[in-house]
Chains A and B, each alone.
Chain A
Amino acid sequence: MIAARCLPVFVITFAIVYTILYVVSVEYNLALFTYHPAAEQFHFLVKPATDGPAMYWYGWMATAGLGACLVAGFVSWIPVGTFSRLWSGLSWAIPLGAMAFFCYLLRSFFIR
């Protein structure tokens, strides 16, 4: 019963916080871990490669996913009423805004 009551708050909060954390992680490079494909090595947090490229995408998703789980879990644990009127549309509006943001962020690939 409690789970059924908390679930909508959890999924909406998760979508919002995950999106925000992902955008912030990309913008400020806050990867939880780094993968160096040439050396086939993982490193905790951000570590620029000395040989070949460094991949941060997995780490950005890990940062966003972990952070969103913690925040959404906490918010859905708060007593009923505080966030019960959370608009369900935020679960798509924030990610849609983030998609537009990435189009803007990566515009240099298309406008030369």
Chain B
Amino acid sequence: MIVALLILHGLLAVALIGAITHQAISVWLPAPSATGSFVGRVRAVTALSYVNAVVALYVLTAILGGILYPSYRLSVRIVLEQMQLFTANGLFELKEHFVALGLGMLPAYWYFWRQPLADNYARTRAILTAILAFIVWWSFIVGHVLNNIRGFD
């Protein structure tokens, strides 16, 4: 059951990382129109269309992570401590705090991306998106690395 939830958690994280990365790129490196290249098409996506997906996926992924967390605490963290992998432990500690702080930013993120988009909130929108993208990438990479260290039983 835990393995199935862990895989689902990972799949939701992949979807979230795709959504927030597309949005962040289109906000920070916008292209006026979609060109033929892959990068050009990524830069030209409609950033607004990802907002609800990002909010829903962030919350769902965090809830699943919260459900899995006790298993991590009992069977992974103790192993990391025994192996004296302090850096790996610290990376996860940062992940839990970053994710929690991201949850607190979600209402603001959702509000500043509401239609019609206000020009005076453009910078706030862009920075909130970038911070959330950083949190999602950090969490994904740290989770992946820790999973590789511990492996499945």
**Cα separation A68 to B101 with both chains bound (whole Å):** 12
Q: Of the 9-residue stretches B8-16, B23-31, B119-127, which lies at the interface with chain A? A: B119-127
* A38 and B74 contact, CB distance less than 8 A: yes
Task: Report chain A residues within 8 Å CB of B104.
Answer: 14-15, 18-19, 22, 64-65, 68, 95
Task: Report chain B residues within 8 Å CB of A108.
Answer: 90
Interface residue count on the B side (C-beta < 8 Å): 35
B98: nearest chain-A partner, CB-CB: A99
Question: Is A61 part of the contact surface with B, judged by Cβ < 8 Å?
Answer: yes
Q: What DSSP secondary structure best describes chain A's contact surface?
A: helix
Within 8 A of B (CB), among A76-105: 88-89, 91-92, 95-96, 98-99, 102-103
* B90 and A110 contact, CB distance less than 8 A: yes
Rounded to whole Å, the gap between the CB of A13 and the closest CB of chain B is 10
**Given that A52-B74, A103-B94 are known contacts, is A91 also in contact with B100, CB under 8 Å in the complex?**
no
Interface core residue of A57, A60, A95, A110 (most chain B CB under 10 Å): A95
Task: Report chain B residues within 8 Å CB of A38.
Answer: 74
Rounded to whole Å, the gap between the CB of B77 and the closest CB of chain A is 8
Question: Is A106 part of the contact surface with B, judged by Cβ < 8 Å?
Answer: yes
* B131 and A61 contact, CB distance less than 8 A: no
B70: nearest chain-A partner, CB-CB: A37
Rounded to whole Å, the gap between the CB of A52 and the closest CB of chain B is 7
* A91 and B101 contact, CB distance less than 8 A: no
Tell which of A88, A99, A110 touches B87, judged by Cβ atoms closer than 8 Å.
Answer: A110
Question: Is A11 part of the contact surface with B, judged by Cβ < 8 Å?
Answer: yes
**Cα separation A88 to B103 with both chains bound (whole Å):** 17
**Given that A102-B94, A109-B93 are known contacts, is A61 also in contact with B107, CB under 8 Å in the complex?**
no
Question: Is A35 part of the contact surface with B, judged by Cβ < 8 Å?
Answer: yes
* B100 and A92 contact, CB distance less than 8 A: no
Tell which of B73, B96, B128 touches A91, judged by Cβ atoms closer than 8 Å.
Answer: B128
Task: Report chain A residues within 8 Å CB of B90.
Answer: 106, 108-110
* B89 and A55 contact, CB distance less than 8 A: no
Task: Report chain A residues within 8 Å CB of B111.
Answer: 7-8, 11
**Cα separation A11 to B124 with both chains bound (whole Å):** 13
Taking Cβ atoms with an 8 Å cutoff, the residues of B that contact A are: 66, 69-71, 73-74, 77, 86-87, 89-91, 93-94, 96-98, 100-105, 107-108, 110-112, 120-121, 123-124, 127-128, 131
7 A-B pairs with the lowest CB-CB distances in the bound complex, closest first: A109-B90, A18-B104, A37-B70, A91-B108, A88-B124, A11-B111, A11-B108
